[in-house]
Chains A and B, each alone.
Chain A
Amino acid sequence: MNLGIFIEQVPDGDGAWWEMLASGLGWTLGTAFFAWIMAFTLGSIVGVARTTDKPSLVRAGNAYVELFRNIPLIVQFFVWYFVVPGLVPAVKAWVVSLDPTEHQFVTSIVCLGLFTSARIAEQVRAGIQSLSHGQRDAGYAIGLTRPQTYRHVLLPMAYRIIIPPLTSEVMNLIKNTAVAYSIGLVELFFRTREMAEMTFRYFEAFAAATLIYMVIAMSANRVMALIERRVAVPGYIAGGK
């Protein structure tokens, strides 16, 4: 093992190999962060839609989930990157105005955001449906409207209940960003491969990547555990404590 490789300069670039990996990590975290915001927002909306008493909304929500859940992630990446711009002229016009890295970044966020949102929608639906129907009735009975009942009564408890599966989803999302290498996004896995192939230091490069992925996924896990403790409801059995 040669740890000195990390401070060696990249032959055709600026900076050392560790800086390349750090820059890859930046893209990985950036992609995961924005994709999470998108996934959480869309997933909540679709999840809620699937628990309403409107059959059309329920069906649309179900279709959404099945669409993004049943196609392999790497296929979705290729569809968003190569197929969609060709199909929709407005998207085409927009992506050609971006530089390639921006295009890859936006595509990765959209693709991972939608893919993950379908999974979150499923969890939000399950969380809401795990609450007793009486909770909804109690919200309506004091005069809350349907949106108010979701906002103040159902969702606060549903989110608390689904924190454990949401934690897995955050970790999955972080790990899934590695697939973005397939469309050329210069994220951590892309840089790791690049380093390994150019230096033939496969062991060092992948040991570093393994360590970094483990640290960020485990940090996400710790942060979620912290949130879970912070929002635990005193006296409520499913809330822990």
Chain B
Amino acid sequence: MIEIKNVSKWYGSFQVLNHCSTHVRKGEVVVVCGPSGSGKSTLIKTVNALEPFQKGEITVDGISVGDSKTDLPKLRAKIGMVFQNFELFPHMKITENLTIGQIKVLGRSPDEARERGLKMLDRVGLIDQMDKYPGQLSGGQQQRVAIARALSMDPIAMLFDEPTSALDPEMINEVLDVMVELAQEGMTMMCVTHEMGFARKVAHRVIFMDQGSIVEDATKDDFFGKPRSERAQQFLSKILHH
């Protein structure tokens, strides 16, 4: 589904991604972890071309992301993305947040879009909030709406960029529960997260990044059992202590 081959990216002379190669198969859940500044958010954003890259190739569903002839809006519409800071549109009601992409991008009728959007909103347990504005919801609720917004587009894969990092501790689980449910239903997912409990529960593979490189790309059991690299062992021992 997602193929990343030898991708490198520089900000000026600073290399943020260094020959990264990996893949996400259909129905697979891949967790990307690593210390801050390791390039994991940058990597996930290259998948839907929010971050350009200078070398290598990424294909999604057989379509090349880096090709200048690719219709990027069309490609992005097929991939759902959830951001660290939710990024709901603050001036739109929850229902409008859920329908704008469906109407403007997929060409669905307002009624059809509303029906689909409300179904997804119900799924994340927030149907009673449909007429509110994002600023009137808690962080956890906003992030669940953001997931519903992405799902309303009927994506073939979902990207999560540290979806729980900006949340208060008591709201993390409500978001993780939605993600676990999605994973168990067979959604193809690539998640940048430090939630190792989530990784243990639903991930098929775990990727560990450090200084712009993919240091470890292993099945979940291998990764938590015996990480091969010292760097990953150190990282795990630091975050699993508590």
Contact = CB atoms under 8 A, between A and B. Distances in A.
B134 A140 contact: no
Given A140-B50, A142-B150, A236 B76 contact: no
A141 B80 CA distance: 7
A137 B50 contact: yes
A235 B133 contact: yes
Chain A contact residues, majority secondary structure: helix
B60 interface: no
Contact of A134 (B85, B100, B106): B85
B153 A142 contact: yes
Contact of A234 (B81, B87, B106, B135): B135
B242 interface: no
A237 B135 contact: yes
B77 interface: yes
A132 interface: yes
B100 A157 contact: no
Contact of B73 (A140, A153, A235, A236): A140
A233 B90 CA distance: 7
A143 interface: yes
B125 interface: no
Interface in B68-95: 72-74, 76-81, 83-85, 87-91
Interface residues of B, number: 34
A213 to B, nearest CB: 34
A206 B204 CA distance: 81
A134 B83 contact: yes
B54 to A, nearest CB: 15
Contacts of B87: 132, 134-135, 137-138
B164 interface: no
B133 A138 contact: no
B91 A157 contact: yes
A101 interface: no
Contacts of B35: none
Interface in A187-213: none
19 contacts: A137-B45, A138-B81, A138-B87, A138-B88, A140-B73, A140-B76, A141-B48, A141-B76, A141-B79, A141-B80, A143-B73, A143-B101, A144-B101, A152-B89, A152-B104, A233-B90, A233-B135, A235-B132, A235-B134
Interface of B: 45, 48, 50, 72-74, 76-81, 83-85, 87-91, 100-101, 104-106, 132-137, 149-150, 153
Give the top 4 A-B pairs by smallest Cβ distance, nearest first: A235-B135, A143-B77, A142-B101, A138-B87
Given A139-B89, A142-B105, 12 more contacts: A135-B89, A137-B45, A138-B83, A138-B89, A141-B76, A143-B78, A144-B101, A148-B104, A234-B133, A234-B135, A235-B90, A237-B135
